[in-house]
Structure 1
Amino acid sequence: MLKVTPIPAFNDNYIWLVSDNQSHHFVVDPGDADAVIAHLKQQQIALTGILITHHHFDHTGGIEKLQKHFNQALLVYGPDNENITGLTHPISSKIKQIELPLTRKPVEILHLPGHTLGHIAYQIESHLFCGDTLFNAGCGRLFEGTPEQMLASLNRIAALDDNTLLYPAHEYTLANLKFALTVEPDNQNLHKYHQDALQLRAQNRPTLPTMLGQQKAINPFLRSDSPSIWQHTASHFQQPIQDGQTCFTLLRQWKDNF
């Protein structure tokens, strides 16, 4: 049975520590090595490896220091088509599965261009570590990819089992919910979820992980076929919307300037 623990870093990052029942421990997107080392010392555990979703420095900045701290013994996985220094196991776009000592089952690799062109996610049993592609009630900015690529990537995630637990890399939930309520104010599931999230954050507790089925009910970027979202987006931009792709593209523009 896997155990997943958030290690807070910077202002709003989560570095996810994934552990098995034995002695294997991986961190996902360790931008801050010091935060990881402090947590590992407190728990008296040693790191086995690192999983990287994409090249941004707040996700990769701790690789070198962690590798040095553990005598260059760490397994470091990440996309091979991004500028990431320190990978020991580069993952090409052709690779769909990898083996990790965390689990006997193959780890599924989802290739999710959009936020960056080489962005990947790791599905370890029922846990999906999705980096900056899908957030709680939101999605990543399009720094390199196109709206078409990002929507296709989100649809790949949406095709997974509704009970999949999602582990984004940032605590952006309240800001995302404010936008979601603007574009779909008549969504009662969204209003209820907003109250729950407010309570969690008031207690300084993470709003993550979140279940995929829940996100399908409240995340506007997974709901670009919703007639209500079409209506509010069309009204905001003063233009007709006739398909989900157009709606998604405009939603992302709206959020960028929200």
Structure 2
Amino acid sequence: MNLNSISALQDNYIWVLNNEQGKCIIVDPGEAYPVLKALDENHWQPEAILLTHHHHDHVGGVKELVKKYPGLVVYGPEETQDKGTNRVVREGDTVNILKYEFSVIATPGHTSGHLCFYSAPYLFCGDTMFSGGCGRLFEGTAQDMYQSFQKLNQLPAETLICCAHEYTLSNIKFSLSILPGDDALNRYCRKVKELRAKNHSTLPSSLQNEREINLFLRTDDIDLKEKASREANLQQPQQIFAWLRAKKDAF
């Protein structure tokens, strides 16, 4: 399978997996036009849509795509039923498309019903994990998101983090405000700045990379624990995660 990203809206990525026969899977189409354009230019035939959650910038193009391609199967959580989903999936389900099997992983936090779809090496994680960050807590709690991160961190190191927004530079700048002397963060910041200066995407990232540069995956890190202890008298990983998310909200 070939992985493609389509830029949409302000900073969204719509992901497309296509095989050599031109059949494809579309993930989180926030708008229809750029998807239809890519389908036409590449002579792709959509087989299915995967939805991670109900927010408009992830589902806004679904109904127009289904209208254009009647019978298109749309997989998503229960919260997306009124957004065009016609096949509701839940934690533990598997979705078989184009000879690939996707595991459905419940990752509440950003929304209460947020799901991720995993078929090695691809993890379509919507607004749960970003490169260098995590999603805002609109419906869930920091504890929910912490547990979701722990679940995703059990995947193989080579997993590709196909998240839905180009937030990497902002996330790394925030992380450097917490740990300004961190070597891994500073190296990654230079790399990301170079990519963005050329208008190149920073995604997908890898889980191995995220374990090094994503503070939300580093809540056991001794330097981060020392910082949280000095500033907020915190030691427990769950507390540090919540503290980081609150600081990012105000950054």
Question: Do they fold alike, i.e. is TM over 0.5?
Answer: yes
Deviations 1:108-150 (A, max 9, x none): 1111011111111111221100000000000000001111110
1:37 maps to 2:36:
yes
3-state SS in 2 of match to 1:155: helix
CA separation in 1, counterparts of 2:213 and 2:128? Answer: 16
CA separation in 2, counterparts of 1:5 and 1:172? Answer: 18
Please state how far the C-alpha of 1:17 moved relative to its aligned partner: 0.7
Deviations 1:5-35 (A, max 9, x none): 0000011000001112233201100011011
Which deviates the most, 226-235 or 143-152? 226-235
1:141 maps to 2:136:
yes
Aligned to 1:68: 67
Residues 143, 74 of structure 1: alpha-carbon distance in 2 compared, 3 angstrom cutoff: same
Aligned to 2:18: 19
CA separation in 2, counterparts of 1:107 and 1:68? Answer: 25
3-state SS in 2 of match to 1:67: helix
Which deviates the most, 203-212 or 43-52? 43-52
Aligned match for 1:245, one of 204, 227, 238: 238
CA separation in 1, counterparts of 2:83 and 2:99? Answer: 24
CA separation in 1, counterparts of 2:82 and 2:193? Answer: 36
CA separation in 1, counterparts of 2:133 and 2:86? Answer: 32
Aligned to 2:102: 107
3-state SS in 2 of match to 1:11: coil
TM-score (norm 2): 0.96
Aligned to 1:195: 190
Partners of 1:137 and 1:219 within 8 A in 2:
yes
Aligned match for 1:150, one of 145, 160, 164: 145
3-state SS in 2 of match to 1:254: helix
Aligned match for 1:119, one of 89, 114, 123: 114
1:257 maps to 2:250:
yes
Give the partner amino acid of 1:5. Answer: N
Runs of 4+ in 1 over 3 A off after TM superposition: 81-84
Kindly, what percent of the aligned residue pairs are identical?
38
Deviations 1:142-163 (A, max 9, x none): 0011111100000111111111
CA separation in 2, counterparts of 1:164 and 1:256? Answer: 27
Partners of 1:177 and 1:194 within 8 A in 2:
yes
Runs of 5+ consecutive residues of structure 1 not aligned to the other structure: none
Deviations 1:200-230 (A, max 9, x none): 1111110000010010000011111112122
Partners of 1:17 and 1:28 within 8 A in 2:
yes
CA separation in 1, counterparts of 2:2 and 2:114? Answer: 24
Aligned to 1:209: 204
Aligned match for 2:180, one of 178, 182, 185: 185
3-state SS in 1 of match to 2:45: coil
Deviations 1:172-219 (A, max 9, x none): 000000001111222211111111111111111100000100100000
3-state SS in 1 of match to 2:83: coil
Which deviates the most, 109-118 or 224-233? 224-233
Partners of 2:90 and 2:104 within 8 A in 1:
no
Partners of 2:51 and 2:80 within 8 A in 1:
no
Aligned to 2:93: 96
Partners of 1:81 and 1:92 within 8 A in 2:
no
Count residues with an aligned counterpart.
Answer: 251
Report the RMSD for the aligned CA atoms in angstroms: 1.3
Aligned to 2:165: 170
Runs of 5+ consecutive residues of structure 2 not aligned to the other structure: none
Deviations 1:72-124 (A, max 9, x none): 2211000124554221211134x432211252xx2111110111111111112
Partners of 1:25 and 1:102 within 8 A in 2:
no
